[in-house]
């Protein structure tokens, strides 16, 4: 039996080794593995694209948490109709869904044809982004329930500044206004006895003559963005360990530097040596229809 707890950064939790039970490890990242992606076709054009999206989503949501559902019209010159690309977070859920739905008429009379993708473009792997905070919420709620976790803002600070004298020629007015906010968020999994923190920074530069009301609105948007990035970064450290009996344990990859008191946290996000460029793509969940390769030789 797994007892939830913390594990070291980059290390497999010792309690998960040499176990005979069926275990799945769910990470809070965009699923790029081909065995988590289904290709669904033989969908006639008698339905609208919106109806197909609703039908496919409802059908496959029963098998597990979905990252995305993409519905497309068939290529020109091919048989009229639609196809769909369905991405799961779990390879086991994708495999189970493929076996259960291939050759069956679910939301239509004609039987669907469903296959696991066998290859995806390598370019897609080099541009993996972590989940947007909204996707993190959905995935956590699916496995843990709405009351299975919580979050709190440890600190939210205004790091804004205008161009300094060294950036502006003597006698000339400041040309830009820099708005920058930093946030630290803590995720708490009370039932599992673990927690972790994430840091997010949002920044934007505006002309000095920008309307004050617009700047006020932008401040609120940047504060929200910093918080969302902090939540997304915190969830990067979380692993959901799903057992075959449906029980879920939570593991947090703990960085020793994170063990800080509330007083020590104050001012932490003002460190300038950290590069935040790696987080610029966080939240870009726009799904890429990558180069899909299917092995359909054995599919009737």
Give the mean pLDDT of 257-275.
51
pLDDT at residue 274 above 50?
no
What pLDDT score was predicted for residue 86?
Answer: 95
pLDDT at residue 285 above 70?
no
- Label each residue of the chain as H, E or C: CCCCEEEECCCCCHHHCCCCCCEEEEECECCCCHHHEEEEEEECCCCCHHHHHHHHHHHHHCCCCEEEEEEEECCCCCCCCEEEEEEECCHHHHHHHHHHHCCCCCCCCCCCEEEECCECCHHHHHCCCECCHHHHHHHHHHHHCCCCCEEEEEEEEECCEECCHHHCCCCCCCCEEEEEEEEEEEEEEHHHCEEEEEEEEEEEEEECCCCHHHHHHHHHHHHHHHHHHHHHHHHCCEEEEEECCCCEEEEEEECHHHCCCHHHHCCHHHCCCCCCHHHCCCCCCCCCCCCCECCCCCCC
What pLDDT score was predicted for residue 284?
Answer: 44
Of 106 and 100, the one with more pLDDT: 100
What pLDDT score was predicted for residue 7?
Answer: 39
pLDDT at residue 205 above 50?
yes
Tokens of 45: 């054009």
Give the mean pLDDT of 272-291.
43
Please choose, from the candidates 85, 135, 82, the residue with its C-alpha nearest in 3D space to the C-alpha of residue 110: 82
What pLDDT score was predicted for residue 40?
Answer: 93
Cβ(288)–Cβ(231) below 8 Å: no
pLDDT at residue 293 above 60?
no
Give the mean pLDDT of 80-98.
93
What pLDDT score was predicted for residue 113?
Answer: 92
What pLDDT score was predicted for residue 267?
Answer: 53
> How far is the C-alpha of 83 from the C-alpha of 49, rounded, in Å?
10
What pLDDT score was predicted for residue 271?
Answer: 43
pLDDT at residue 16 above 50?
no
What pLDDT score was predicted for residue 9?
Answer: 39
Q: What is the mean pLDDT of the chain?
A: 78
Tell me the pLDDT tens digit for each residue of 28-73: 999 988 899 999 998 988 888 999 999 999 999 999 999 999 999 8
Tell me the pLDDT tens digit for each residue of 130-177: 899 999 999 999 999 999 999 999 999 999 874 444 444 544 556 888
Out of 119-128, 140-149, 288-297, the most confident range is 140-149
Please choose, from the candidates 153, 146, 150, 178, the residue with its C-alpha nearest in 3D space to the C-alpha of residue 164: 178
What pLDDT score was predicted for residue 247?
Answer: 92
What pLDDT score was predicted for residue 21?
Answer: 52
């Amino acid at each position: 039996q797994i007892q939830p707890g913390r594990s070291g950064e980059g290390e497999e939790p010792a309690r998960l080794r040499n176990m005979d039970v069926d275990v799945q490890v769910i990470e809070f990242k965009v699923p790029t593995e081909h065995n988590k992606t289904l290709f669904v076709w033989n969908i006639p054009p008698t339905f609208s694209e919106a109806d197909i999206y609703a039908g496919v989503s409802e059908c496959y949501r029963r098998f597990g948490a979905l990252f995305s559902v993409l519905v497309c019209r068939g290529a020109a010159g091919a048989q009229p109709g639609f196809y769909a690309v369905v991405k799961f977070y779990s390879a086991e859920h994708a495999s189970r869904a493929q076996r259960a739905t291939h050759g069956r008429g679910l939301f239509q009379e004609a039987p669907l044809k469903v296959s696991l993708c066998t290859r995806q473009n390598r370019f897609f792997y080099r541009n993996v982004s972590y989940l947007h905070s909204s996707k993190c919420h959905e995935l956590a709620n699916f496995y843990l329930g709405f009351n299975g976790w919580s979050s709190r803002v440890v600190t939210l600070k205004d790091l804004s500044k205008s161009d300094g004298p060294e950036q502006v020629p003597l006698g000339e007015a400041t040309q830009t206004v820099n708005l920058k906010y930093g946030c630290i968020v803590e995720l708490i999994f009370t039932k599992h006895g673990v927690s972790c923190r994430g840091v997010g920074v949002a920044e934007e530069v505006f002309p000095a003559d920008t309307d004050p009301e617009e700047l006020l609105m932008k401040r609120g948007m940047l504060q929200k963005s910093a918080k969302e990035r902090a939540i997304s970064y915190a969830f990067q450290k979380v692993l959901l360990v799903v057992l075959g009996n449906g029980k879920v344990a939570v593991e947090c990859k703990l960085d020793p530097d994170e063990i800080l008191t509330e007083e020590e946290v104050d001012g932490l996000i003002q460190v300038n040596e950290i590069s935040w460029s790696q987080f610029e793509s966080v939240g870009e969940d726009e799904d890429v229809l990558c180069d899909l390769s299917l092995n359909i030789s054995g599919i009737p």
